Structure 1
């Protein structure tokens, strides 16, 4: 299965970006790129929805959604529009898997819940046991939901002719994933140390080692770091130039068959280089014990030459906030640049990150009857409408903005710095509704007034320009998404393998890295690796997936 650890690790950035993107104002009405809400949503609150329903939800950030229900006008508007009461069942980033397992066993799953379990062994077990219910066969009353299930990499997700989930779209186009892997560096340190943009592995090693060893901050102390990480998910992408599939942990075709990336002979070169980078001080010595986002704070403290992380506008804004916390006299936008996360391949090619259009899914308890399912789908359809996208970015008309000559003019209050107050502070329920139906991170890259306000004009432009350049000049990691989404029993059990953790063990060890990795991969056979490879390749031949 496609590596979903990326999605989990990026979750804190993504969810907060949803609320942040609801924080700005602008002069241009957003272009949502979707149809308006379906007929059912238009009838919400009328005769069709005469009966008020309680609908329970679990979502990754729902614990922050309802601090004061009476004060949240957006929540009250949605509950009134669809004649429902939203009931929260709280999960956190660290416990949602455990809670869903417990609730599914005890029959206490919420009506609607978010997970990242598509095509896993647990997913098919839920279907077989009748724990989750399918969507209606006819989705035409909900055109925006229907559209999400009609994309190239989502329309094949039916099981026995039924959809049992709604995929949560991140980027509708695979190209837009390109900056989900990047190296953000101190360009002022590069200038001071007379370093040019690196191209080869040795260039990267020399640059990162110089950041750590050559006193780039000029304080005469050995207190700087080469490259740190936002999370360990961003470790292996550093080796994309040596083995592109480390970027997205995908299956690769070698010697006439598909295998998981970690079973490739190329991983031997990867572990040798990763050991060298760590041993020579190029990689943060504390990376293995750091928590997610610790690297962002460390970068802000001015002790890091580079950080491996996303470079989308919301990610740059996170770094900007960390930098501003510790540096009052220098702007972040004046000291950073975005470099490729890895060196060029032997043939000179550079590769960019790709993934499916979605990460995570919405599931529905089998206890949800048809009446409640209809109401839920009305809500989901509306959350993918132009009307909601305008609310998400600008707030409620007449309260947070007004329209003048077809333009949106923000009217809400500014803080003492002259910045618009966050819509999330007015409407905390955006922590649920803002990303419940889809992440919709493509809006970050729009050249709009809202993006400039949310992320800063310069940061927004740098991200947009870098994305365009990377898409135009870099090759996508060659990935067969039909195979990534393919289910076989043995393939599903490979989720027990965490190749990143095993690479870290090799990096920290003094033993021969190649011999150590060879023994690790042999151990994967005990977790069903060989059987999974056989099953997957049998299915590929049977279904004709090797295109």
Structure 2
């Protein structure tokens, strides 16, 4: 089996474990309308603790540092918990690890499942299994479906993280209005995708009389699952029939897909800056009529449509999710993203209050804060109905929770255009990835040789061979 290498530094583990040694319900919180309600079980558990929390988040919170302060105050208004929220503007994982390694203590962290697995290996997280089972909120299948917990359970059935939101999936997103303008059918095979992307590059879909568009843009190798679907290949790791771990993108079956991507690059169909793009640059190209297809999250289908509609109510712009490229048997394979979770460090100073917050986050008021945002900042109430402010419209009902599990909580304004169709594709064709703790080390090798293959710096077959050799040499695959 692949050795489970630990890429968090020893100083981080020592700091956290040293801190541990040294330090050795179905009702929501206060409602948006001001009515006081309680979470009896959690508050009874936390009554002997100071009701204060220090947390670090990546996407949850205000959109600006100033709004983040208001977000903290809104949590206190709704729950009575005084919160200090660190929300780095960039490089979240690096800053998270650096802060913890320096000895800072947090009560709550928002992390990916991949990061959670690493922290579990380090022995620095609090197991939450018993608390989840005893929670009237979290054990309710209408709040979080029972089967969904399998995503975050360890092999021995323990739970260390609780969902921050419903995590969707990724897919190719196309300018449907460009397809219609050029009388092109929606692509189904890699050949179909080539023809569509070539037309987007050469047939002036934006109508400005200039050859200034690309067929496809990506943020590096980010979310190319929809194209590797043509070869039936899963992103990241898979477990083989004999129990070994492998990376499908490093197999010979991936060579034709790399050659297809190289063809796009050579012919100027693929954005030449794809390898250095971040997701913001990629999205901006799509929104500014410079590219006809990107690879991104289902939720962004709606946000892209909403953004352009907000800029120009008469726009013909239409983003649409696609199922990717079918394999020889007509099957599609999309990626469902690893969930983001709340975790409680083992050296947290207010662990009971932290769990109370986690329960509240999955109730009506917590969900509305994570989606709509802050009362009187992002929305107001009019006769019991939510009304978005201009700021709220700009924030697109996403303060870290665009979608949620709790089926008892309805979205006040429904879903944005195109989102439901995209989510239906994810639910039909997407499965979770296998992300061992050593993924980030493997990813560097995969990206290095994938870029060389796509940009023609090495023949695809040679790049795949070298990729596989390095993964094996570093014991990242069996």
Instruction: Give the C-alpha shift of residue 449 in structure 1.
Output: 5.2
Pairs within 5 Å for 1:466-545: 466-468=422-424, 470=425, 475-476=429-430, 484=434, 492-498=437-443, 499-530=446-477, 533=478
C-alpha separation in 2, matches of 1:376 and 1:513: 49
Mapped pair 1:383 → 2:361: yes
C-alpha separation in 1, matches of 2:243 and 2:355: 44
Task: List per-residue Cα deviations over 1:392-447 (Å, max 9, x = no partner).
Answer: 549669x93255xxxx434x5xxxxxx73345999xxx98xx54xx7644689x99
Q: Tell me the SS of whatever aligns to 1:108.
A: coil
Task: List per-residue Cα deviations over 1:120-153 (Å, max 9, x = no partner).
Answer: 77424431xxx43333734455322345595454
**Residue 366 of structure 1: aligned partner:** 346
Contact 2:217 2:282 in 1 (8 A): yes
**Residue 329 of structure 2: aligned partner:** 347
Q: Tell me the SS of whatever aligns to 1:293.
A: helix
Mapped pair 1:409 → 2:385: yes
Query: Please, which of 38, 41, 54 is the counterpart of residue 39 of structure 2?
Result: 41
Contact 2:305 2:317 in 1 (8 A): no
C-alpha separation in 1, matches of 2:174 and 2:80: 47
**Residue 52 of structure 2: aligned partner:** 54
Q: Tell me the SS of whatever aligns to 1:88.
A: strand
Pairs within 5 Å for 1:443-462: 450-451=413-414, 455=416, 459=417, 462=418
Q: Gaps spanning 5+ residues in structure 1: where?
A: 2-33, 172-176, 413-418, 486-490, 534-547
Q: Tell me the SS of whatever aligns to 2:174.
A: strand
Q: Mean alpha-carbon deviation: is it higher for 267-276 or for 286-295?
A: 286-295
Q: Gaps spanning 5+ residues in structure 2: where?
A: 2-24, 30-36
Task: Flag the 1:225–1:132 CA change in 2: closer, same or farther, 3 A.
Answer: same
Moved over 6 A (4+): 43-48
Instruction: Give the C-alpha shift of residue 98 in structure 1.
Output: 2.5
Instruction: Give the C-alpha shift of residue 110 in structure 1.
Output: 1.7
Task: List per-residue Cα deviations over 1:277-308 (Å, max 9, x = no partner).
Answer: 22122211222232222122222222322233
Contact 2:173 2:321 in 1 (8 A): yes
Query: Please, which of 231, 247, 250 is the counterpart of residue 243 of structure 1?
Result: 231
Contact 1:182 1:311 in 2 (8 A): no
C-alpha separation in 2, matches of 1:522 and 1:47: 53
**Residue 34 of structure 2: aligned partner:** none
Task: Flag the 1:522–1:221 CA change in 2: closer, same or farther, 3 A.
Answer: same
**Residue 304 of structure 2: aligned partner:** 318
- Whose RCO is larger (CA < 8 A, sep 6+)? 1
Instruction: Give the C-alpha shift of residue 315 in structure 1.
Output: 3.7
C-alpha separation in 2, matches of 1:209 and 1:141: 56
Task: Flag the 1:159–1:101 CA change in 2: closer, same or farther, 3 A.
Answer: farther
Mapped pair 1:185 → 2:171: no
C-alpha separation in 2, matches of 1:242 and 1:125: 35
C-alpha separation in 2, matches of 1:368 and 1:69: 22
C-alpha separation in 1, matches of 2:229 and 2:49: 58
Contact 1:250 1:260 in 2 (8 A): yes
Task: Flag the 1:337–1:158 CA change in 2: closer, same or farther, 3 A.
Answer: closer
Q: Tell me the SS of whatever aligns to 2:215.
A: strand
Q: Tell me the SS of whatever aligns to 1:241.
A: helix
C-alpha separation in 1, matches of 2:276 and 2:476: 28
Q: Tell me the SS of whatever aligns to 1:145.
A: coil
Task: List per-residue Cα deviations over 1:178-226 (Å, max 9, x = no partner).
Answer: 5x31322243x33443422223322211121121123334444321211
Contact 1:82 1:375 in 2 (8 A): no
Query: Please, which of 121, 125, 130 is the counterpart of residue 132 of structure 1?
Result: 125
C-alpha separation in 2, matches of 1:286 and 1:507: 12
C-alpha separation in 1, matches of 2:390 and 2:313: 24
Contact 2:216 2:294 in 1 (8 A): yes
Instruction: Give the C-alpha shift of residue 112 in structure 1.
Output: 1.6
Instruction: Give the C-alpha shift of residue 56 in structure 1.
Output: 0.9
Instruction: Give the C-alpha shift of residue 350 in structure 1.
Output: 3.0
Q: Tell me the SS of whatever aligns to 2:88.
A: coil
- Equivalenced residues, count: 437
Mapped pair 1:207 → 2:196: yes
- Compare the two structures and name the one with the higher helix fraction: 1
C-alpha separation in 2, matches of 1:66 and 1:192: 42
**Residue 276 of structure 2: aligned partner:** 289
Task: Flag the 1:36–1:215 CA change in 2: closer, same or farther, 3 A.
Answer: same
Task: List per-residue Cα deviations over 1:84-108 (Å, max 9, x = no partner).
Answer: 32123343431x3233333333321
TM-score, normalised with respect to structure 2? 0.75
Task: List per-residue Cα deviations over 1:301-346 (Å, max 9, x = no partner).
Answer: 223222332343x543235425765xx5841xx3435252532211
C-alpha separation in 2, matches of 1:291 and 1:156: 28
Contact 1:181 1:309 in 2 (8 A): yes
Q: Tell me the SS of whatever aligns to 1:225.
A: coil
**Residue 420 of structure 2: aligned partner:** 464
C-alpha separation in 1, matches of 2:405 and 2:423: 12
